[in-house]
A and B are shown apart, each in its own frame.
Chain A
Amino acid sequence: MANKQLHKKATQDSLLKDLIKYRWIYILALPGLLYLLVFKYVPMYGVTVAFKDYSSRLGILQSPWVGMKHFMRLFASRDFAILLKNTLFLNVYKIAVMTPLAMVFALCLNAIRNVYTKRIMQTISYFPHFLSWVVISGITFQLFSPYSGTLNQILIKLGMQPMTFLSSPKSFKTMLVVFGAWKELGWASIIYLAALSGINTELYEAAQIDGASKLRKTWHITMPALIPTMVTLLLIDIGRIMSVGFEQVYVYLNPILYEKGDVFATYVYRVGLGQGKFSYTTAVELFNTMIGLVLLVVANKISKRLTEESLW
């Protein structure tokens, strides 16, 4: 160990010398670093306004400290339980639906023999990923419109009542999950397809000789190869569990749906920027980030023990 470090010191220049020798390559990094400093690291320091009473006249640094006041207000507020429930439930719902669906979709794509058919299916299924939620909301409002939408036209022709589930609080979360799956399913399967293409084909040949059926091969060779990818993606999802999807919720939300559909991100936007309660909503966001980080660390620890997969 000590030897190795000594060796390292001998072959590498001292810090200052390195900086001078490679100054031009470091200068290339400057604009990017400046960006990170101003728009990523200063806001990280900016979370301190959660413990202050921010006033735009005094700025982030000069505003007076108030301790945990804003957090207390959040925990005591009636909105808190609703927001926590909606955010967690929506994201768990999403993860529970999307994870198996993306794997199955990748397997289905992979099972297509004809290269052209496969490519066309991929091209089509990746496409919605590139559209904004504003556009998708426009399309869905049109398709599911109670008067002229295709779906309700069919229902009316069949003699049934038109459905209004886009504006119904009951089906709000399911609708978001379904539209989310529709948009991201193809895209989410890319990473699994990559894992599939990395499987050693000799394994299948060996199984073939041993007389394994296609189903058994899928179960004993393909699935175990996908598990590490799935666990990694799951961990990333869990880390983001509190923060996902402002735009998706925002474009479908209206005051009637707040009770069932309002999540932390939309609340922060509405109350923070709309009503100018900067300190309070920063506290809301910080609480969010912290929960996300704790969940990530815990999930990572569990995963390390069970599957030996870890993000770090």
Chain B
Amino acid sequence: MKAYKETGAEKAFTILNLTLLSLFSLTILYPFAHVASSALSANDAVLGGMVTFFPVRPTTEALRQLLVHRGYQSAMANTVFITCVGTLMNLFVTAMLAYPLSRKNLRFSKVLNILVLLPMFFSGGMIPTYLVVSTLKLTDTYWAYLLPSLVSPFYCLLLRNFFASIPKELEESAIIDGAGYGRVLLQIIMPLSMAAIATIALFYAVDHWNVFLGGIMYINDRKLWTLQMFLREMISQSEHASELAEGGSAFVSLESLRMAAILVSILPILCVYPFVQKYFVKGVMVGSVKG
């Protein structure tokens, strides 16, 4: 059969295609290689623009100075706390809401679905939400990071679609055996939905890890700053006005410190993401756009 023989034009296309995709990948890989090698290079090499792919005269001085910085330590601790606690809260409340939504036999299921769907099309906006949060006296507390983003309607609908695809017989037989709905959710539905749960757990965790707008809206107290707020201040500071650069004993430029901070803030995502990737493609597809 001649079907599997590539013509010259097709071969040329394959080569062109791979070249273009590789170039695009390089534009993603290079910046990260550059950040990592800048964070680990000697100070004057960074300032002189000598660093490209690999560290020049490797040193961990910038990393060490970053790790002992007070502001950095508290920002990191806050962010880790918010990410862990926040994601757990998100997952449970979202799953508990998604479960009744997925049960079409309930009389109120349609109403509930509309209640979840509506905020995706019409939102009160930044200021009214701020007014609610400040009226409840949540500003300058950890709650301001956790509560206003407790359930994402979109992720909830993703999970609903996944739950709906689980055979009802499993639930019914468990109910007959005397299990409550909470137990069915926890011990049958959720374990069977690990692909979807892992996906939205990653999404929620990344949202918490990257939280910035929520921070600058609701938080004034520096002690409650997150990593992104700390980074933002570092990035927008000029070299002279830096309190950071003066703090250390050995001279480390703000530029090196910045790169070290960026590197440290990317690392956790970099470590978790490849393992969850195989789930999220599936997870996103099950609940694809139209729901």
A residues bordering B, Cβ < 8 Å? 12-13, 15, 18-19, 22, 24-26, 28-29, 31-33, 35-36, 38-47, 49, 54, 56, 59-60, 108-109, 111-113, 117, 120-128, 130-135, 137-143, 145, 147-150, 152-153, 182, 185, 190-191, 193-194, 208, 214, 229, 232-233, 236, 239, 246-247, 251, 265, 268-269, 272-273, 278, 281-282, 285-286, 288-289, 293, 296, 311
Contacts and interface: CB of A to CB of B under 8 A. Distances in A.
A139 B231 CA distance: 11
Contacts of B24: 125, 185
Contact of B27 (A15, A33, A111, A182): A182
A212 to B, nearest CB: 12
B80 interface: no
A29 B130 CA distance: 25
A12 B107 CA distance: 8
A100 to B, nearest CB: 15
B37 to A, nearest CB: 11
B262 A147 contact: no
A125 B28 contact: yes
B68 interface: no
Interface string B91-105: 001101101110101
B48 to A, nearest CB: 7
Contacts of A127: 28, 270, 273
Interface string B203-218: 0001001101100110
A239 B122 CA distance: 10
B18 interface: yes
A289 B126 contact: no
A247 B288 CA distance: 25
Q: Which of B49, B136, B270 has the most CB of A within 10 A?
A: B49
Given A139-B262, A293-B121, A121 B99 contact: no
A32 B132 contact: no
10 contacts: A25-B181, A28-B182, A28-B185, A36-B116, A43-B125, A142-B35, A194-B288, A273-B127, A281-B127, A293-B121
